[in-house]
Amino acid sequence: MDCLFCKIIAGEIPGDIVYEDDKVLAFNDINPVAPYHILVVPKKHYESILDVNAEDMDIIAHIHKVINIIANEKGFAQNGFRIINNCGADGGQEVKHIHFHVLAGKKLPMYEK
Ligand code: 5GP
Ligand code: ZN
């Protein structure tokens, strides 16, 4: 499958990895918009949240547990952070493998309304 994040997961493309377990990979965004800009992805390919069926939905809770671990390990839990999941064209999703952006390390601007 021609998927950038599947290639990073498979080790075919280098990723600056910050966390890995059997189900999830987290790596630094190549074009960070905050001092911390980490992408957290399931190792199983889903295009977006719309493709995660009810039986697989545990992975979404697991990703949030991983974000909690990363926030504490990196030391930005206390000051706070933002989790973003862009879905589809209007959501601005460019990479078609579900991913959660974790932004931290500065006071983040309010998103566009
Ligand atoms: P989206 O717009 O799909 O929500 O976010 C895709 C993100 O992937 C962007 O923030 C972009 O900077 C990041 N990205 C694109 N290509 C690469 C890459 O090759 N490596 C890494 N680490 N991040 C990438
Ligand atoms: Zn993929």
User: Ligand 1: which of 12, 27, 39 to mutate, judged by most atoms within 8 Å of the beta carbon?
Assistant: 39
Please give the structure tokens belonging to residue 82.
Answer: 């933002």
The boundaries of the domain holding residue 42 are 4-104
For 4-7, the CB contacts below 8 A with 24+ separation are 4/95, 4/97, 5/39, 5/41, 5/45, 5/95, 5/97, 5/99, 6/45, 6/97
Expressed in angstroms and rounded, the spacing between residue 107 Cα and the centre of ligand 2 is 31
CATH of the domain at 83: 3.30.428.10
Total count of domains within the chain: 1
Expressed in angstroms and rounded, the spacing between residue 2 Cα and the centre of ligand 1 is 15
Q: Which residue lies with its CA nearest to atom 13 of ligand 1?
A: 29
Q: Does the reported pTM lie above 0.95?
A: yes
Q: What is the pLDDT of residue 1?
A: 75
- Is the ipTM higher than 0.90? The answer is yes
Q: Is residue 110 part of a domain?
A: no
Q: Is residue 112 part of a domain?
A: no
Q: Is residue 11 part of a domain?
A: yes
Q: Is the CB of 31 under 6 A from ligand 1?
A: yes
What residue ranges of the chain have pLDDT lower than 70?
A: 113
